[in-house]
Each structure stands twice: as structure tokens, then as C-alpha cells.
């Protein structure tokens, strides 16, 4: 690869890291706004409520789902997979499904089976956090062109590290915009 192509790839990768960081901050702000809205709302049922601390399902459920999707997409993009964005979104949707299953298990089991509902909710929560690692492993194992490189993909690695950091920073910035 010539110097011009290497420079173009470097600029393209640094641009991607910046874009993903920006998306992380915006997503974090949105998570905080949704968390506050859910916390102040009156979403509840027989034996469960999303008011107050129940709203923490938003950042602790949707946050990992977003990170799992971002990590999978970044790894597949780094490896040159043509459908990296679609597969990254799919990974995020798996995380969303696990978050939904965790919440629905409490609702479906109801107050008469509170222990079973809590156990199922914890199970799906643990699987969600396992999916953070699992999505990265699956993305690394999916067949992809894996272009030759002369050096490590530092901007892709930076993107992987920056996504959860900027997501948390966006949530924290949200506290200044919309205090709890």
C-alpha cells in the first residue's frame, strides 16, 4: 500500500473514532434524558415500578446493549467486513432483547412469583453483560477479509475504548443539563 493510501486509511479511521465518540456522548445524553423521564413517570404494575431507582434499567440495560453493538461493528469494520454496520446493529438489538427479557420477566412472573421473576431478571442481566464480551468474540470469529496491516489498528482500538467512556461521559453531562 502506498503512502497516500495509508494516509487516507489513517484519516478515515481517525474520523471514525471521532464519530463514534460523538455518537457515544449523544447516546449517553439521550440515555440520561430517558432515564429521568422514566424515573419521573408513573410506569408501574402489580408489584413492579420503573419510577425512582427502577429507571436504572435504562442506563444499565440500554448502555451495555449500545456498547455491544458498537464494539461488534467496530471490530467487523476493522476486519473489512462489508456488512459491519448491519451486524453491529444486530448485536445491539440482541442486547436490547436481553434487556427487554430482564424487564419482562419481573412483569410476567408478577408479585406471586416474585423470587422467580427476580431470578429470571438477574439471569437475563448477567447474560446481557456477558454479551458485551460475547459480541466482540463473535465479531472476531465471523469470516471477514482481514486486510493486511503494517501496524496495529490503533484508531479502531481507540474507538473500542472510547465508546463506553464517552457513553458514560454523556450520561454524566446529562446530569448538568437535566438534574435528577
pLDDT digits (tens, 9 = 90+) for 36-90: 999 999 999 988 899 989 999 999 999 999 999 999 999 999 999 999 999 999 9
Yes or no: say if 39 and 51 are a contact pair by the CB < 8 Å rule: yes
> pLDDT, tens digit, for every residue of 83-124?
999 999 999 999 999 999 999 999 999 999 999 999 999 999
The reported pTM is 0.91
Question: What is the average pLDDT across 14-27?
Answer: 96
| pLDDT for the residue numbered 7 | 45
| pLDDT for the residue numbered 169 | 97
pLDDT band at 148 (very low <50, low <70, confident <90, very high): confident
For the cut 60, the answer to whether the pLDDT of residue 5 exceeds it is no
Mean pLDDT for all residues in the chain: 92
Q: Where exactly are the structural domains of the chain?
A: 3-177
Amino acid at each position: 500500500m502506498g503512502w497516500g493510501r495509508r494516509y487516507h486509511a489513517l484519516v478515515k479511521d481517525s474520523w471514525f473514532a471521532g464519530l463514534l465518540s460523538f455518537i457515544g456522548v449523544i447516546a449517553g445524553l439521550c440515555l440520561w434524558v430517558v432515564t429521568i423521564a422514566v424515573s419521573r413517570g408513573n410506569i408501574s404494575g402489580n408489584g413492579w415500578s420503573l419510577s425512582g431507582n427502577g429507571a436504572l434499567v435504562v442506563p444499565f440495560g440500554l448502555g451495555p446493549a449500545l456498547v455491544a453493538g458498537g464494539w461488534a461493528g467496530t471490530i467487523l469494520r476493522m476486519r473489512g467486513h462489508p456488512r459491519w454496520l448491519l451486524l453491529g446493529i444486530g448485536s445491539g438489538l440482541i442486547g436490547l432483547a436481553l434487556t427487554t427479557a430482564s424487564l419482562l420477566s419481573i412483569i410476567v412472573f408478577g408479585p406471586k412469583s416474585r423470587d422467580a421473576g427476580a431470578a429470571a431478571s438477574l439471569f437475563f442481566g448477567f447474560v446481557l453483560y456477558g454479551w458485551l464480551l460475547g459480541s466482540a468474540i463473535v465479531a472476531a470469529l465471523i469470516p471477514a477479509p482481514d486486510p493486511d496491516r503494517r501496524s496495529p489498528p490503533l484508531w479502531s482500538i481507540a474507538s473500542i475504548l472510547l465508546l463506553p467512556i464517552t457513553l458514560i461521559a454523556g450520561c454524566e453531562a446529562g446530569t448538568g443539563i437535566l438534574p435528577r
